[in-house]
Each structure stands twice: as structure tokens, then as C-alpha cells.
Structure 1
Amino acid sequence: MTTITTHTVEYPADGLTMTGHLALPSGTGRRPAVLLGPEGMGLSDIERRRADALAELGYVALAFDLHGGRYLGDPEEMLARCLPLLADPDRMREIGHAALDVLRTEPRADTDRIAAVGYGTGGAVALELGRDGADLRAIGTVNALTTGRPGEAARIRCPVWAGVGSEDPIMPPAQRDAFTAEMQAAGVDWRLTVYGGALHAFHHPTVDHPTVPGVGHHPRHAQRAWRDVVDLLAECLPVPEAPDPASAVRT
């Protein structure tokens, strides 16, 4: 396995001190970079492992924070913070740009080749970076078919891939249609993958929660969604002499 190094990084955003997880590939040269956003609960070991897996593939990866170092495992607390955040594109952009600035100041990161990948609320942040005109080479989202303010999707300058579960009640068919209509009208190079039978947050092994209907883990589709993310990066941000992607598949 490729030797990687990891660091905890602190930075200000949204009036909080955020705590991100930076993973660096072996070697000393500059590499393409990936900003990785978590589900609404916040940064966890799942996202840290994903960042590590991307570093094993040769990327500089920063898993960013949403809640000032806190993981909001209580659904009511999570919704109380995330719903106002999701309704405020400027706040999401502030959080995203703060993390993007950290990634850009990393000497190993090739600042001309950066992608943003996010899950749930973290995916919404990635999309808002695109709608704000951030210089990204790819945007990938899972469970984040959020639409933006009228006309702003035209600022997206890179391919967009989105994944969603067919049985996700939080991102139902009407939301899928609104998202794809926005992307199409803006002339974005977009793709949507619908994972049959999957619920919301299907990629996240710890989300089976009896008090949250419509949420559940789907192991097979979690693996498939990760491979789709890796394929997007391989297409848009190829790493010279990168390892076999199958060697770093994580759920």
C-alpha cells in the first residue's frame, strides 16, 4: 500500500474554528487535489478514510468540516444547523471557500487541478462553489441534488456528476428533475446516476437510524458510488502513474 501522511488542520469559517483532515500522497511533487465534503452530521472517520484512500491514489485530499469540529449525531440537532445552512448559499460558499483556500495553500496541491466532491450537505457546498465560479476541474455529489439561485449554474466551469438513491425521500424524483433541468439550462456537462433501491445517505455505514425514515445504508451501492467518484476524478484529474483504483476502494 502507498505510504501517505495525514494532518489535522484548523481554519476559520462560518464563525467557527473548523477542523479538517488533510491527506497527502507519497513523494514530494505537486499532485491534483480534491476537496471532500461530509454529510450533514459532519466530518467523521468515514470521510477521513475516504480522504486517505484518495491520497493512496495520488491525490492531495482535504476532508473539510461543517460544524466547528463537532459531529452532530442527534438528528434534531443536525437539522437545526443544516436546514438554515442549506437555505443560505452565501454561508455554504463561505464554508467551501475557506476549505478551498486551505487546500490551495498546501504546497503539494496543484492549484490548477482541483475537484470538489461532497455528500449531502457537503455536496451542496461543492455545488455552491461551482455556482460561485470557483476554478474546479470536476464536481461530484451524492445525495445533494440541490438547486441554486436562478442563472448561477451558468458559472459552473467543469463536469458535474451526481448520484442519488431511487428511494431517497429527501431527494425525490421532482428534486432530481429540478436539478437536471438547472444543469441542462446552464449548459453544464452533467451526469446523474440513480442507484436502484437505495435510500438517503446510502453510502454512509452508520446512518441506519430508527428515528429517521428514508435513511439507510446500502453496501453494494456504497461501493458503486465510490467507484463512480474515483472514475470521475480519473477522467477529469488524472494522476500520472496512479495506482490501480481498485486498490483504494472504500465505503
Structure 2
Amino acid sequence: MTTVTRRKVEYPADGLTMIGHLALPAGTDRRPAVLLGPEGPGLGDVERARADALAERGYVVLAFDLHGGRYLSDPEDMLARCMPLLADPERMRRIGHAALDMLRAEPRTDPDRVAAIGYGTGGAIGLELGRDGVDLRAIATVNALTTGRPEETARIRCPVWAGVGSEDPIMPAAQREAFTAEMRAAGVDWRLVVYGGALHAFHHPPVDHPVRPGIGYHPQHARRAWRDVTDLLAECMPVTE
């Protein structure tokens, strides 16, 4: 197994001091890099483990923070912060750019080979970076079929992969159709995978705090979605030793 170096990194964003998780692969050379965004509750052990797993594959990874070092385990607290955020593309972009600047400042990062992947709110931020014209190699989003200002979607310059559960009440069929229409109209290289029988946050192992209705873990589809994300990275941003 490749040795991974991990450290906390602090940076300002959204009026807060964000505390991200940086994972570095073995070696001293520059590597392709991944900006990894968490679900609405914020950066937790699941996202840190995913960052470490990608670093083992040879990527520099920053799992970024949403809430100034807090994990919002109460659904009402999470919604109170995330719903206004999701309704404000410029604010999402500022949070994304702050994290991206931190990732690109890492000496091990190849600034010309950066991808954004994310879940829920973190995935929406990745999409907004693409709509803002950021030079990314790939965008992958799970449970974040957010639509934006259609005239800006054509600024996405990389392949977009999206995954969602067929039974997700938070991202229902109408949302899938709106997302698909926006990507098609903009001429984006896009893919949408609908995982049959899966609910919202199907990728996330069970948690020990209350969750919103319509959320449920699907281990088989969680493994499939992770494989789809890593396949996208390998296609668009291969690691060369």
C-alpha cells in the first residue's frame, strides 16, 4: 500500500476558518490533484477516508470544509446553513475557489491537472466551479444534480459525471430531467448514472445521528459509484509513476 501523508490545512472562506484534510501520496513529484467536497453535514471521517484512498492511487487530494470545522449532525442545523448556500451560486463559488486555491498552492499539486468530485452540497460546489469556467479535468457529483444559470453551463470545459439514486426524493425524476436538459443544451460531455432502488446519500455508511427522510445506505451501489468516480479520474487524469 502506498504511504499517504495527511495533515489539516486552514484557510479562510465564507467568513469562517475552514479546516480541510490534505492527503498526499508518496514521493516528492507533482501529481494530479482532486478537490473533494462533502455532503451537507460537512467534512467527516468518510470524506477523509476517501481522500486517503485517492492519495493511495497517486493523487494529491484536499477534502474541503463547509462549516468552519463543524460537522452539522442535526438535520435542521444542516438545512439552515446549506439551503441558503445552495441558493447562492456566487457564495458556493467563493467557497470552492478558496479550497481550490489551497489545493493549487500545495507544491505537490500539478495545477494543470485538477478534478473536482463531491457529494451533495460539495458536489454542487464542484459544478459551480465548472460553470465559473475553472479549468478542471473532470467533475463528478453524487446526489447533486443542481441546475444553475443555463447560459453559464457552456463554460464547463471538462467531462461531467453524475450519479443519483432512482428513489431519491430529494433529487427526483424532474430534477434529473432538468439537469440533463441543461447539460445537453450547453453541449457538455456528460453522463448520468441512476442507481436502481437507491435513496439519497446511498453512498454514505449509516451514521449515529438523525437524518432527513429519504436517506439510506446501499452498500452495493456505494461501491459501484466509487468505482465510477475512480474510473472517471483514471480516464481524464491518469496517474503516471
Bin the TM-score by the shorter chain: over 0.9
Alignment partner of 1:21 is 2:2: no
Please name the residue that 1:43 is paired with.
Answer: 43
- Contact 1:207/1:217 (8 A) holds in 2: no
Equivalent residues in 2 for 1:145-184, closer than 5 Å? 145-184=145-184
Cα deviation code 1:37-90 (max 9, x no counterpart)? 000000000000000000000000000000000000000000000000000000
Residue type of the alignment partner of 2:161: W
* Per-residue Cα deviation, 1:138-160 (whole angstroms, up to 9, x for no partner): 00000000000131101000000
**Secondary structure of the structure 2 residue equivalent to 1:151:** helix
Gaps of 5+ in 1: 242-251
- Give the length in aligned residue pairs: 241
* Residue-by-residue CA offset, 1:211-240 (whole Å, 9 max, x unaligned): 621101111111110000000000000001
Residue 207 of structure 1 and its aligned partner are, at CA, apart by 4.6
What's the counterpart of residue 224 of structure 2? 224
The 3 A distance-change label for structure 1 pair 194 and 208 is farther
Q: CA RMSD in A?
A: 1.0
The verdict on how the C-alpha distance between 1:123 and 1:211 changes in structure 2, with shifts beyond 3 A counting, is closer
TM-score (normalised: structure 2): 0.98
- Say whether residues 1:129 and 2:123 are aligned partners: no
Q: Is residue 4 of structure 2 the alignment partner of residue 4 of structure 1? A: yes
CA distance in 2, matches of 1:219, 1:207: 14
1:212 maps to which residue?
212
SS in 1 for 2:52: helix
The Cα shift of 1:206 comes to 2.8
Retained in 2: the 8 A contact 1:209–1:215? no
Give the corresponding residue for 2:54: 54
Distance 1:93 1:179 in 2: 19
Maintained 8 Å contact 1:207/1:216: no
Does the CA contact (< 8 Å) of 1:209 and 1:216 recur in 2? no
Change (3 A) 1:30 1:211: closer
Distance in 2 (alpha carbons) for counterparts of 1:210 and 1:84? 21
Deviation string for 1:132-183 (max 9, x for gaps)? 0001000000000000013110100000000000000000000000001000
Q: Which runs of 5+ in 2 are unaligned?
A: none
Q: Which amino acid aligns with 2:45?
A: D
Determine the structure 2 residue equivalent to 1:88.
Answer: 88
Preserved contact between residue 208 and residue 215 of structure 1 (Cα < 8 Å): no
Give TM-score scaled by structure 1 length.
0.94
Task: Give CA deviations for 1:83-128 in whole Å, capped at 9, x if unaligned.
Answer: 0000000000000000000000000000000000000000000000
Q: Which residue of 2 aligns with 1:120?
A: 120
One-letter amino acid of the counterpart of residue 202, structure 1: F
CA distance, structure 2, for counterparts of residue 81 and residue 90 of structure 1: 15
User: 1:121 is aligned with what amino acid?
Assistant: T
Specify the SS of the correspondent of 1:191. Answer: strand
Identity %: 82
Name the aligned partner's letter for residue 236 of structure 1: C
Question: Using the alignment, how far apart are the partners of 2:107 and 2:143 within structure 1?
Answer: 32
CA offsets 1:16-52 (integer angstroms, 9 cap, x no match):
0000000000011000000000000000000000000
Sort the Cα spacing of 1:142 and 1:211 in 2 relative to 1 into closer, same or farther, 3 A: closer
